[in-house]
Structure 1
Amino acid sequence: MNSGFASAHDDFSRGILTISQLNRAVATLLERNIPLVWVRGEVSNFTAAASGHWYFTLKDGSAAARGVMFRGRAMLVGFTPREGDRIEVRARVSLYEPRGDYQLQVESMRRAGQGDLFEAFLRLKEKLAAEGLFDPGRKRAPSPIPRTVGIVTSLQAAALRDVLTALARRAPHVGVVVYPAPVQGEDAGERLAQAVELANRRAEVDTLLLVRGGGSIEDLWAFNHEGLARAVAASRIPVISGVGHETDFTIADFAADVRAPTPTAAAELASLPRAQWLTRVEQAAQGLRRAQRRRMEQLEQRLDRAAAQLIPPRERLARQRDRLASLARGLSAAWSAAQRDRASEVGLLRQRLIAQLPDPARMASRVDDIARRLRQRQAYQLASLQQRLASHAAHLRALGPEQTLARGYAIVRDARGHIVRQAHTLEVGEPLALSFAEGAAEASVTAVEPDRGTL
């Protein structure tokens, strides 16, 4: 502060000053030489004018000073001081020139002791941040479609009514569970933490709202409780905090998964409006119908391609005839090989029998036994082969011409007994022999027509 102020102002160099000049010079001197200062005192003679300005006297045990706080600044305080309140103000020292009264022009105001509380707030915030409780990576997004929302607040709080009203308007289908706890008082922070832990133990809600209306830093101090911050950070249920006004910040706000500026905003963040979800459901249904239609079109195309790849009956019959012929050849080869194997085995047995001639009775008995087993095995093999042959024969008959004739077809032979396959080989008047499934008939050619394509 400049103590040589008299020489710093031109007005004081004049011979005689008017009262107005003196007061103006003193006001300028005070404003230039005394910076913004914090002042503590007790409120008296408080008046809230119709203009919105506040006028009061700030005093202590032995002195007093007038103060003024203009409407724009007063609107930001968050509380209205009352007679006898102890407050701290940040003010400029000025002079009210018309009366020559020295006054404090207040820029901001807080309740006495808020400086200590704010320092405690910053220390706790720094401590918990260093532990990682506020890391964005551990925060989770609340469920976009909650079935039930939990609310931690006082049953008497206006914030509870605001949240219930907002949920009833936006999402009447969402259930609500209230976990009551005091939001102000000595044990409020601990009780709030217990309510958050209770909600986690019961695990009956999808999102948890921690809400309270606005107030001073003392009013909101329960939400700066370290135990509450740790309970919120450890919560398995996503937590949305909506404490105070938009300008209010608490430790619980930093620990929560989402911070809302007000309790009503917290309710709005907890669930989307029912109409919006109905619109989304309708859009999803339309998308499902479009996908189903595309799938049906794809399947229809696949069916058309499969139908185009079907084998005609004539070609299928030809393949079956070829396979039957191959099976017959394999059966014949198998029979011949079995006969050779049996003959070889008999030869070996004969040689062994001859080698053991010194005991003809035993060898004769053994030969008889081996011959018996050979006959049994050969009979079994022969029966098995006959059964397979009968099966193949039945299969062959099923694919033979008799079955074709039974379906209404006929075999046409010319005069030489050859089967007629092409009409252009016939001549008019040529006799024909017709064979049917039952019986036969004779006919003659009356006309020969050119090939008109396959029936």
Structure 2
Amino acid sequence: TADLRAATPSHAAQLLWPQRAELRQRLDESAAALRRAFAIRLEREELRLRERENALRWFSPQRHQIRLAERLARLSLALRGAARQWLTNKSRVLDGLERSRRAALTLGRLDALQARLSLLRAALDAALPHRLSNAAHSLTLAQNALRAAGVAWLETRFRRLESLEAALAANDPLAPLHRGYALVRTARGGILRSVGQTAPNREIEVRLADGRLTAVVSRVSPDAAQSGEKNI
């Protein structure tokens, strides 16, 4: 069963390949486009390859050595120029100094300097005794003033020391012991200021000017006036 009939074989061939010319044209166009794309891709890759070759050539050790050699040559040239300039300047300075020395050290100049030196030596010999006398007088005055100031300072310090010694002696808590007073302490070491702080048969310590006594209280007798005040 067929849905299409052909009268001749040629007609059948035409029916089987109705778009042969169109397909061939599309094939040719695709081949041309592929060739163009390949050419563009090949050109782009060649460009990238040349760029990388140039970069590799620029960063290669040989290129680096060449750049260093060029820089060294420039520095050497600049150094030679600076050295020549420095030597030229120094030569000019030395020439100027030599001319100044020759102009300054003439016979007339030496005679004038010798005469001035003689005058200065004579003036110094004449002024030296007077200056020494003035210096000795000033030194004597300074020594006298220093001696007077030292004596006054020492007298002031001695008076101050005597005043402090008197104040210290007046405030010495043991000074009254030499006048017949005594310092009494309880057995625990506290100062006994009142008869109410002790009681018969209790031990006390009596401090005198030349030593200590240990005693036992035999009787406590409060003062009448103090007792009356307490009772009021």
TM over 0.5: no
Higher relative contact order (CA 8 A, sep 6+): 1
Q: Which has the higher helix share?
A: 2
TM-score by length of 2: 0.32
TM-score by length of 1: 0.19
